[in-house]
């Protein structure tokens, strides 16, 4: 079967429950040109190489000029630092990172642990008296939304407003075909509305700052100055959107995987420290972001015997690369023990995953996402007695890029009481340089 046909099948919703056999087929042609002129890259070594190649741009303005002038102008300020290249990317990311982690605010994420445990505990307490819940609606969505709202200083009661905007943004990610331009237009409009909403909150924080991230962004007088209002809008919208959408999928995919592997679920119940290795394996085995669709060649790029012409769109299939048998042993087996518990990192160089991307765009929120997932999965495993799936496979979200269950109906016997104190967890070390965030 030709590689372009394989990728078309991966995009088809009917294959959302299990795209991995198609990824195996796709890897037979590591760099495959598609009918629309884009190039799909599916093997680990080639993806890693391109993630670190300065000739690969994340700025849509360096790709085919499909949009009209108004849309192009809008895209200049939308998407935050993930949609621009150095040096602009590096400056914006450094300004955001000053409020999010080391070296300027090294304890922000670790200090959130008690609050994360409290949110998880309250949500699971809400299951009391029930034997069935939809884990997405009742847990994996409200949990990270509550977390990111508290981190940014966004009123939780405003969630219905930005939920609509987030849905429009998700619809456009990786969109192809006749309606792609219209979906992108709607996404740009939603991103702008979300940015305006957050800019209004930020304006209020200038006069009455708190300890939240938005307050830090608008009051910080570091050596590089402050973000402009437009930059603040785009960065705030990015953090609010990305801060919950991918984590919803990570936790939902995680519970689905655990319920399909009851032996591992039982181990996690008995050994809560397994959560650290477990989350790393989930990021490899069932990543929340399946591929990166918005990359463009700034120059002709030779890779795997193929020349990608300058200006060509590039799609990096992270989920395929993380299951590349040339890179990782027994890739289709879910095995948290492939990660070394003593080093709190990856056991061997050939076991690294692409769950958080790589290079200068390595996931900004990785430390928070890891901690959220570790706490959520270990508490769900401990407190839900005899949980089991009601539907397998569950219905999936439509988008092929941000892949995860739209609903996850489960059944359990009862809910165990909460523990008075939480187990301390540690993040695995970041594999990308902290100068670019982390």
Inform me whether the pLDDT recorded for 131 exceeds 90.
Answer: yes
For 72-127, write each residue's pLDDT tens digit: 433 444 568 888 999 999 999 999 888 887 777 888 899 999 999 999 999 999 99
What average pLDDT does this structure show over 122-139? 97
What average pLDDT does this structure show over 411-431? 71
Confidence of residue 425 (pLDDT cuts 50, 70, 90): low
Q: Which of 5-14, 163-172, 256-265, 423-432 has the lowest mean pLDDT?
A: 423-432
What average pLDDT does this structure show over 251-269? 98
Return the CATH class of domain 3-436: mainly alpha
DSSP-derived 3-state class of residue 307? strand
Confidence of residue 135 (pLDDT cuts 50, 70, 90): very high
Q: Give the span between the Cα atoms of 255 and 407, in whole angstroms.
A: 12
Higher pLDDT, 339 or 351: 339
- DSSP per-residue letters across 359-426: GGGS-TTHHHHHHHHHHHHHHHHHHEES-EESSSSPPBPS-SSB--BS--EEE-SEEPPPPSSPPP--
Confidence of residue 275 (pLDDT cuts 50, 70, 90): very high
pLDDT score at 290 = 96
pLDDT score at 76 = 40
What average pLDDT does this structure show over 135-149? 95
Q: Which residues pair with 389 in a beta bridge?
A: 410
Domain range annotation of the chain: 3-436
Q: Give the span between the Cα atoms of 399 and 364, in whole angstroms.
A: 22
Confidence of residue 315 (pLDDT cuts 50, 70, 90): very high
Residue among 314, 384, 427 at smallest CA distance from 138: 384
Q: What percent of the chain has pLDDT over 70?
A: 89
Secondary element (H or E) of residue 346: strand 345-346
Residues of the chain by 3-state class (helix, strand, coil), percent to 5? 50, 10, 40
What average pLDDT does this structure show over 19-48? 97
- Single pTM value for the model: 0.89
Q: Give the span between the Cα atoms of 348 and 303, in whole angstroms.
A: 25
Inform me whether the pLDDT recorded for 427 exceeds 70.
Answer: no
DSSP for residue 39: E
pLDDT score at 291 = 96
Inform me whether the pLDDT recorded for 428 exceeds 90.
Answer: no
Q: Which of 146-150, 233-237, 316-320 has the lowest mean pLDDT?
A: 233-237
| Encoded tokens for 386 | 């005899």
Helical spans, DSSP H, in 130-228 = 135, 142-152, 159-172, 180-207, 213-219
pLDDT score at 340 = 61
Q: Give the span between the Cα atoms of 355 and 316, in whole angstroms.
A: 12
What average pLDDT does this structure show over 373-397? 97
Mean pLDDT of the chain: 87
């Amino acid at each position: 079967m030709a590689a372009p046909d394989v990728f078309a099948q991966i995009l088809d919703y009917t294959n959302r429950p299990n795209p991995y056999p198609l990824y195996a087929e796709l890897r037979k042609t590591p760099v495959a040109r598609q009918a629309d002129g884009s190039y799909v890259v599916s093997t680990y070594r080639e993806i890693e190489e391109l993630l670190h190649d300065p000739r690969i741009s994340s700025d849509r303005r360096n790709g085919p000029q499909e949009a009209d002038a108004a849309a192009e102008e809008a895209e200049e300020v939308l998407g935050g630092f993930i949609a621009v290249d150095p040096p602009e990317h590096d400056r914006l990311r450094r300004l955001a990172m000053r409020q999010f982690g080391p070296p300027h605010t090294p304890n922000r994420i670790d200090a959130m642990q008690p609050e994360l445990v409290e949110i998880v505990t309250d949500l699971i307490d809400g299951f009391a008296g029930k034997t069935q819940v939809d884990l997405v609606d009742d847990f994996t969505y409200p949990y990270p939304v509550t977390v990111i709202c508290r981190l940014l200083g966004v009123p939780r009661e405003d969630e219905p407003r930005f939920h609509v905007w987030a849905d429009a943004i998700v619809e456009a990610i990786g969109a192809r075909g006749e309606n792609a331009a219209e979906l992108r237009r709607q996404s740009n409009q939603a991103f702008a509305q979300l940015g305006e909403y957050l800019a209004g909150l930020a304006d209020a924080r200038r006069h009455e700052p708190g300890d939240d991230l938005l307050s830090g962004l608008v009051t910080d007088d570091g050596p590089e100055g402050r973000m402009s209002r437009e930059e603040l809008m785009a960065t705030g919208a990015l953090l609010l959107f990305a801060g919950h959408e991918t984590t919803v999928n990570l936790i939902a995919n995680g519970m689905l995987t655990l319920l399909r592997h009851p032996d591992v679920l039982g181990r996690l119940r008995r050994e809560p420290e397994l959560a650290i290795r477990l989350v790393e394996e989930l990021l490899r085995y069932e990543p929340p972001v399946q591929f990166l669709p918005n990359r463009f060649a700034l120059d002709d790029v030779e890779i795997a015997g193929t020349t990608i012409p300058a200006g060509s769109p590039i799609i990096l299939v992270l989920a395929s690369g993380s299951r590349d048998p040339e890179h990782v042993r027994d890739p289709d087996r879910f095995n948290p023990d492939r990660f070394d518990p003593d080093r709190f990192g990856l056991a061997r160089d050939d076991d690294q995953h692409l769950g958080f991307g790589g290079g200068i765009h390595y996931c900004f929120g990785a430390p928070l996402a890891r901690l959220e997932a570790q706490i959520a999965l270990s508490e769900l495993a401990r407190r839900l007695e005899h949980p089991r799936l009601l539907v397998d496979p569950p219905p999936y979200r439509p988008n092929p890029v941000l892949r995860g269950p739209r609903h996850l109906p489960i059944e359990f016997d009862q809910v165990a009481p909460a523990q008075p104190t939480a187990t301390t967890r540690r993040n695995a070390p970041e594999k990308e340089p902290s100068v670019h965030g982390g």
